[in-house]
Structure 1
């Protein structure tokens, strides 16, 4: 009689398909629950892996979101640092510039963002993770670093500003917005962004 090998117990070990399994679980949870309500521990449970494995493949929740939902190497921490690196009176324009740079990132950044915006018009569930991610990890983080107690509100207002512009420019294709240069947008929208993220109300 041949002994049958016992089935290994415990969570899935790291392997060639582990990263893909984590990504699939993360994409499902982000798409159904939004960004804020999903934790790395919940993703690990859904993927049946040890939570430490997620940190082996991704630097954190925002990195995992960017590489699964956005499918872009979008470093939220770097975007925040870049926006805050210059003079305080230029943080607003710098934040707008960072958004436009991410939107036009090599490898189909614009196409990916635009596709998500198009889907969001018909399916609200697609929009929620993107807006939550941007308001919390990018714009809200900038306002929080500047010491504003209402950073969550400021972050969401900032998201409404940039996503409204993106919708109008790339989907509705309003002629003036479509033809204007990025630099003009940075300066014009930067004034509003400065008020939202930096100035005291």
Structure 2
């Protein structure tokens, strides 16, 4: 049944599945064109021809909407949120300890499938804007020393983690693909921590 919050569009049969898909299509387009920060729930609703309350009804927060738009099966803030409570000097080890069990899980298969799709296509703007506007803001702001270095520090971290994903889940290099999570986390953790808080060439 069509709710009062939905505005009917000529030629489009109303219904929950149709409405949800219109919201997702509008969200993908706006996130891709304008980035995460400059895309509002209200703008997505206008693009889809629905009331903003309906967007919240189907998807919750903006990060949850983004996750649905690029087919990530978990709200990214469930990972980023706990990091805000971790001392800065422990983030390097904590980050892979959080991410690897998630990527190894059944839920993580959706993330890997999304990454494969992104690598096979040409549009990386959605993920790039999310990494730069959400992850860099939430975590990078804590390691922004000297001022202005937080963004590049987070990009160094991302390069290491993307390498792990490629080797373990995309290329499935043996025996790396079978190593225990703890072993990988303990091995790359010091590198990640150095990227986050250590002295880096060119940063002064």
Shift of 1:66: 0.9
Match among 116, 119, 130 for residue 118 of structure 1: 116
Runs of 4+ in 1 over 6 A off after TM superposition: none
2:33 maps to 33
Shift of 1:35: 4.1
Q: 1:57 to 1:198 in 2, by over 3 A?
A: farther
8 Å Cα contact 2:88-2:143 kept in structure 1: no
Residues 147-198 of structure 1 show CA distances to partners (whole Å, capped at 9, x for unaligned) of: 4433222222222221121012111122232121111111112112112223
**Structure 1-normalised TM-score?**
0.74
1:129 maps to 126
Shift of 1:144: 0.8
Partners of 2:23 and 2:109 in 1: how far apart? Answer: 24
Shift of 1:140: 4.5
Shift of 1:34: 7.3
**Structure 2-normalised TM-score?**
0.73
Residues 1-51 of structure 1 show CA distances to partners (whole Å, capped at 9, x for unaligned) of: xxxxxxxxx9728x8454443223223444x53744761243222101233
Return 147-156 or 167-176, whichever deviates more. 147-156
Q: Secondary structure at the match of 1:124?
A: coil
Q: Secondary structure at the match of 2:139?
A: helix
More helix by share: 1
8 Å Cα contact 2:73-2:111 kept in structure 1: no
Aligned length: 187
Residues 96-124 of structure 1 show CA distances to partners (whole Å, capped at 9, x for unaligned) of: 2222243245xx43322222222333313
- Which residues of structure 2 form unaligned runs of 5+? 9-14
Partners of 2:80 and 2:72 in 1: how far apart? Answer: 19
Q: 1:75 to 1:114 in 2, by over 3 A?
A: closer
Shift of 1:91: 1.0
Partners of 2:197 and 2:53 in 1: how far apart? Answer: 36
Q: Secondary structure at the match of 1:85?
A: coil
